[in-house]
Structure 1
Amino acid sequence: MIRRISELYSYRQMLKSLVLTDLRTRYKGSVMGFLWTFLNPLLLLAIYSVVFSFIMRQNIENYPMFLFCAILPWTFFSSCIQSCSGIILRNSNLVKKIYFPREILPLSVIIAGVINYFFGLVILIPSLLLTGIHINISLVAFPLILFVQTLLVLGISLIVSAMNVYFRDLEHIIAIVLQAAFYITPIIFPISMVPKEFQFYFLLNPMTEIIQAYRNIFYYGVMPDFSHLFLYLLYSLIVLVIGWAIFNKLQKSFAEEI
């Protein structure tokens, strides 16, 4: 793996180019262009505020912010995995014609996803302050939480991007699985609302702890449970190692399969 990481570093200019291409093509041809990076989360927040403040009122104080703190990392998670599931096939010309570390393709999507998440924070943090939620020292835990999530997303993305080359229906199955996963992750509700006998099953979902950690530092203003977070860091590293091993095994025949 060390050798592969060194090789990836030597192709850093290609990685940078792919990331920039991903960011540019998201809104290519639209009138607003790159401004949609900020407008999308802003409009989403406006919709949540109207719907959950006037139509579907919740007992949770400042519910739009409660929801928005979780929606942003979930969007990063789901959009990256969905996009990576077809990334090899979408770049079949590159894969067949030139040599480069194939891991660059899913990695470029993840990095672009992280950048988009940061753009979402440009909307989230001022919105929290405007609604009376104060940002405090707990925000120092943000890099660790993001690191844990990014490792997890990369590991899963390596698996699905490689397997989809051989099993093309996987891309469509992933979309359905992600829709189902949304409802078994405490995004629209706190984990405390889940009956105690079922909470164990929710905690098997790694995104449960990650979403709760984000919500703790942004919404509640408290430090996350570091013992749980470090446990999920280990879990994410295991997923990454397995994902990398599967990807390296399957990538040998990418050109023939495509």
Structure 2
Amino acid sequence: MSSTNVKDLVFQIAKRNIYLKYKGSILGVFWSFLNPLFLLAVYTFIFGFAFKTKWGGESLASYPIILFSGLIFHFFIIELLSSSSQLISGNANYVKKVVFPLEVLVISNFLSQIFNLLIGAALLSIAVLVTGGNIFKVIFALVIVLPPFMILTLGISYLFSSLGAFIKDITHVVNLASTLFLFVSPILFPMSVFPDVVKWIVYLNPVSLVVIEYRAIAFHVESFSVYGYAAYCTAAFVIFLLGRWVFNRLSRGFADVV
């Protein structure tokens, strides 16, 4: 299969995934806007108004936007891990085709999840614009942090797709870990609130550093670390290569377990 045909196939399956997700619903793709807005409202009420949470010296009104800037990355990676862990078993008709390139499934699923991330980023940009913030910094921050984050999460998607074919419990583990990922990260609170003894655990969360660096550039509520960013980029490439290698090795047995 030529590279052009593979590219077309990736985009066709990605569009199909987005269509199937909202097929039959009245609001359709509009749910991609409603879901993050609803969760944002809930977290804003609980932490912003009930507990009067502020982000450092920032005003109470700025908390929802800063919070949402972290939630969009959290929502993305949880959805990606959940869909990746069921990817092979849910596409048995493709897996059992001898000539079908199985990497297409991983990449197309990844692109369909990126679609939701970009919708969240668009909502964030609109909120910043409406509240009089600097939208250029918000967009620039996304340009800086998104490439290594995409490489990292694509590598993780390869890993979860290949392991999920053999270990069905991974899907349930992801569902249980989604709340833990949220609280063991600098999404709801600044990194400074975590004791030094547990900060290394927080940094193991794949969204922690990208959220810190993003907010450092966009809102100046965290400190941007060049060394941290360089380490993140390096780790992203390593995990990507590892994930793809594992996927290619294990893909030989996918047809036997689906």
**TM-score (structure 2 length as normaliser):** 0.88
Kept after mapping to 1: 8 A contact 2:48/2:54: no
Q: Which residue of 2 aligns with 1:169?
A: 169
What letter is aligned with 2:208? T
What letter is aligned with 2:103? E
Shift of 1:98: 4.9
Q: Which residue of 2 aligns with 1:255?
A: 255
Is residue 188 from structure 1 mapped to residue 183 from structure 2 by the alignment? no
For 1:35-46, list aligned pairs within 5 A: 35-46=30-41
Kept after mapping to 2: 8 A contact 1:213/1:225: yes
CA separation of 1:207 and 1:42: change in aligned 2, threshold 3 A: closer
CA separation of 1:137 and 1:33: change in aligned 2, threshold 3 A: closer
Which portions of structure 1, spanning 4 or more consecutive aligned residues, are displaced by more than 4 angstroms?
Answer: 6-10
Q: Structure 2: give runs of 5+ residues left out of the alignment.
A: none
Is residue 214 from structure 1 mapped to residue 217 from structure 2 by the alignment? no
Find the partner of 1:56 among 51, 55, 58: 51
Q: Provide the secondary structure at the position in 1 that maps to 2:189.
A: coil
Find the partner of 1:14 among 6, 9, 12: 9
For 1:233-244, list aligned pairs within 5 A: 233-244=233-244
| Equivalent-residue separation in structure 1 for 2:117 and 2:96 (angstroms) | 32
Residues 101-149 of structure 1, C-alpha deviations (whole Å, 9 max, x = no match): 2111121111111121111122111212323432344742422311111
Q: Provide the secondary structure at the position in 2 that maps to 1:100.
A: coil
Q: Percent identity?
A: 28
What letter is aligned with 2:95? V
Moved more, 103-112 or 132-141: 132-141
| Equivalent-residue separation in structure 2 for 1:226 and 1:128 (angstroms) | 25
Kept after mapping to 1: 8 A contact 2:145/2:213: yes
| Equivalent-residue separation in structure 2 for 1:94 and 1:57 (angstroms) | 51
CA separation of 1:225 and 1:130: change in aligned 2, threshold 3 A: same
Q: Which residue of 2 aligns with 1:200?
A: 200
Q: Which residue of 2 aligns with 1:119?
A: 119
Kept after mapping to 2: 8 A contact 1:206/1:232: no
Shift of 1:222: 8.1
For 1:84-99, list aligned pairs within 5 A: 84-99=84-99
CA separation of 1:197 and 1:53: change in aligned 2, threshold 3 A: closer
CA separation of 1:128 and 1:89: change in aligned 2, threshold 3 A: same
**TM-score (structure 1 length as normaliser):** 0.88
| Equivalent-residue separation in structure 2 for 1:7 and 1:184 (angstroms) | 44
Kept after mapping to 1: 8 A contact 2:78/2:174: no
Kept after mapping to 1: 8 A contact 2:141/2:218: no
Q: Provide the secondary structure at the position in 2 that maps to 1:186.
A: coil
Q: Which residue of 2 aligns with 1:3?
A: none
Q: Structure 1: give runs of 5+ residues left out of the alignment.
A: 1-5
What letter is aligned with 1:242? L
Find the partner of 2:21 among 15, 22, 26: 26
Q: CA RMSD in A?
A: 2.3
What letter is aligned with 1:42? L
What letter is aligned with 2:16? T
Shift of 1:223: 8.2
